[in-house]
Amino acid sequence: MRKHSNADGPHEIHIPTGDGHVLKGHWWRHAESTDRTMDVPVVVINPATSVAARYYYRFAAYLQHHGMDVLTYDYRGIGLSRPEELRGFEAGWLIWGERDFEAVLQWLSANRPGRSVDVVAHSVGGFVTGLAASAHRVRRVCMVAAQLGYWRDFHPAHRTRMWWKWQFVMPLLATLLGYFPGQRLGWLEDTPKGVVCDWTQKMRRLEDAWGCSGPERLLAERKQLVERCANMRAPILSIGIEDDAFGTRSALERLLGYFPFTERVHVRVAPESVGASRIGHFAFFHDRFEHSLWPLALGWLQSGELTAAMQQAAPHHVVPALRCPSLEAY
């Protein structure tokens, strides 16, 4: 891990959840920060599905070096928060948001009261961010490749292969084994069955129903999710990567539709614009992009606005917040 001169830590922390679990994470304290410091913001990193928090450590150290305290953690069932036995272990996207991210916000409220809280959310971490009851406390959000994994949004050139891998093989193995053996296959972390069900079944049913004005029950359930996410009013920067077969333009716009009451800025980055042959769904957080991509996120977290350099770097458009508190469109 790359070290910075003003790095302190990271220090391991344990975060209790309201339903009796304990999440394990790390606290990255900036050198000028203390437990009573009020003007140093806290950044929480919400990981992608089945990606351990350690994947984001270099990025966390970067934010720490630039004046922020950072909290990294693993959702229940993943990484340091994994139980000894995954078969039968209860976990899912909704649980990660409603219970785990909520527990993180409650921990910060108790241990770092009065501090501004920002979020960097990767992939499904963007959805997870809006599900917590205390999401209204979040000041700013930077989403990277954030989407719902809905198969119709996969890049057309890769859709068949991706559907077979993520929508057929993964749920089949999870059903047969009681969990998804991702580490053994080299496909991310081992993953609880409930997470796989949310990814490959629940959200697919909800989005398919919405797309065809489907069963009233499913539409009502989807509306409830939008209503929950609508509690978050923090401005969102959504960074999409042009060669990301998951994070297509339509995929990111679909997720942004769950946050109707906040200003949403959608930025598209082409690999060649930063001198790379490819970036894909995961490589944004590789430290080779410390001087090209990471400043996009840093600038937003520092100001909540697109800087001139950011506007020149990538095509973007602003999705305004709704003017009236109505969810009839959903």
Question: Does residue 47 sit in helix, strand or coil?
Answer: coil
Banded model confidence at residue 328, pLDDT cuts 50, 70, 90 = very low
The chain-wide mean pLDDT, for the chain, equals: 89
pLDDT of residue 327 exceeding 60, the answer is no
Distance CA 249, CA 190 (A): 29
Range of lowest pLDDT (166-170, 202-206, 305-309):
305-309
Q: Within a 10 A sphere around the Cβ of 144, how many other Cβ atoms?
A: 28
pLDDT given for residue 112 in this prediction: 93
Asked if pLDDT for residue 167 goes beyond 70, the answer is yes
199-238 burial, b at 16+ Cβ within 10 Å, e below that, comes to: bbebbbebbebbeeeeeeebeeebbebbebbbbbebbbbb
> pLDDT at residue 100 above 50?
yes
- Pairing verdict, β 191-192 and 179-180: antiparallel
> How confident is the model at residue 325, as a pLDDT?
37
First-to-final CA distance of the chain: 44
Identify whether the C-beta of residue 202 lies closer than 8 Å to the C-beta of residue 193. Answer: no
pLDDT tens for each residue of 232-274: 999 999 999 999 999 999 999 999 999 988 999 998 999 998 9
Residue from 138, 150, 166, 181 nearest 45 by CA: 138
